[in-house]
Structure 1
Amino acid sequence: MTDAVISRVTSAVTLLKAPHFGDARGWFTETYSERRAESAGIDVRFVQDNQSFSAATGTVRGLHFQRSPHAQAKLVRCVRGSIMDYAVDIRLGSPTYGKWVGAKLTAEGCEQLYVPVGFAHGFVTLEADVEVAYKVSDFYEPDCDGGIIWNDPTIGIDWPLPEGGAVLSDKDNILPTLAQFESDFEYNGVPLQPLTGI
């Protein structure tokens, strides 16, 4: 039996590892605990669960966010396979505006990335047949849907892609650059910090 490991990096982006219990039959994990989330500084109410399946290695989903009045915080985990998961600071006035952090999330490791309001989110699959599940703090509203192009050179995410390059949706392939984006997210006084503990 292992205890939950919490890597508290800021009140902005937080990396968690769920408790994981194994025996001869396999394993069990507690995928969400409000008490554990609150102890890590995550004080939001999640109202919807989403899940995606990506068939190809190198599938990129992002960089996405939802604007006010339906802005979403997310709690992301990989339930099959592995991904590199990213959060980009898009809070107006932030000293870390346009900067990013990333973490590898795996089904076996039970890691979770909390992405609060004010950050764009995206991930790339590191293998075939990957499933990702995430909780959100507000319902999906198409009129509030937003994004930034995944390969914006001013953001400079180092995506681990296979030889064939990224697999993208038509929508994600035509998102605006950070320079074309007008943020209405406010800086909360906490700059983005590097993720640690994984």
Structure 2
Amino acid sequence: MNFVPTKLEGCFIIEPKIIRDDRGYFMESFNENTFYNGTGQKVHFVQDNQSFSSKGVLRGLHYQTGDHAQAKLVSVISGEVLDVAVDIRPGSKTYGQYVAVVLSAETKNQFFIPRGFAHGFLVLSETATFFYKCDNFYNKESEGGLIYNDETIGIDWNFNPAEFIISDKDKIQPILKNAKKAW
């Protein structure tokens, strides 16, 4: 595996080693020791989640607060998405900045997002199956969110906003300055 740091401290793009032959392919999608050696972060995942969405579906930006904060290792099983992480760590030198990464079933790249980041994705292909591991259990009372089009963050979704398919909940999320604090 190749671990590529992003401009947001702690966020990594992970490029797996894929072994291909006439039968198909094999890859190791996660190994705790390899992950620690590549990122310097000890993470113990406790929950896996999967979603299926159509083109234009935008999910996010979501996070968990306090003791229920979550680190995520995200990937795409089928299709292609634009995956986004926003730094919401108080005092961080990159607070309010984001990284956007295209993840696809073809490349099999993964994106690691540590605790203290809001996360969301936009489906670019006709459909996509999105998969992610979390290092903490979901807790409804600890939910936080940011509106996808907060001008102070300025996410370039590189997609026509008129074609977004967004849940009612995600349409009314607050801007960063009014959002629930991460800790």
Alignment match, 2:144: 146
Measure how far apart 1:165 and its partner are.
2.1
Choose the corresponding residue for 2:27, options 10, 29, 36.
29
Secondary structure at the aligned position of 2:99 is classed as: strand
The percentage of counterpart residues that share the same residue type is 42
Is 2:36 the partner of 1:43?
A: no
Give the Cα–Cα distance (whole angstroms) in 2 for the partners of residues 59 and 11 of structure 1: 28
Choose the corresponding residue for 2:62, options 27, 44, 64.
64
Q: Name the aligned partner's letter for residue 47 of structure 2.
A: Q
Decide which moves more: 163-172 or 39-48: 163-172
Residues paired across the two proteins, number: 181
Give the Cα–Cα distance (whole angstroms) in 2 for the partners of residues 155 and 8 of structure 1: 20
Give the Cα–Cα distance (whole angstroms) in 2 for the partners of residues 13 and 119 of structure 1: 9
Measure how far apart 1:164 and its partner are.
4.1
Distance 1:120 1:26, change over 3 A: same
Give the Cα–Cα distance (whole angstroms) in 1 for the partners of residues 153 and 30 of structure 2: 31
Measure how far apart 1:184 and its partner are.
3.8
Distance 1:184 1:66, change over 3 A: closer
Give the Cα–Cα distance (whole angstroms) in 2 for the partners of residues 88 and 66 of structure 1: 13
Alignment match, 1:158: 156
Give the Cα–Cα distance (whole angstroms) in 2 for the partners of residues 43 and 92 of structure 1: 22
Secondary structure at the aligned position of 2:141 is classed as: helix
**1:3-152 alignment runs, 5 A limit:** 4-9=1-6, 11-41=9-39, 42-55=41-54, 57-152=55-150
Give the Cα–Cα distance (whole angstroms) in 2 for the partners of residues 163 and 151 of structure 1: 9
Measure how far apart 1:110 and its partner are.
1.1
Secondary structure at the aligned position of 2:163 is classed as: coil
Contiguous gaps of at least 5 residues in structure 1 = 186-198
Contiguous gaps of at least 5 residues in structure 2 = none
The answer to whether the Cα contact below 8 Å between 1:126 and 1:160 also exists between their aligned partners in 2 is: no
The answer to whether the Cα contact below 8 Å between 2:19 and 2:25 also exists between their aligned partners in 1 is: yes
Listed one character per residue, the Cα deviations across residues 43-80 of structure 1 (whole Å, up to 9, x for unaligned) are 1110000001002x111111110011111000000110
Give the Cα–Cα distance (whole angstroms) in 1 for the partners of residues 30 and 171 of structure 2: 33
Q: Name the aligned partner's letter for residue 58 of structure 1.
A: G
Per residue, is there more strand in 1 or in 2? 2
Q: Calculate the TM-score normalised by the size of structure 2.
A: 0.93
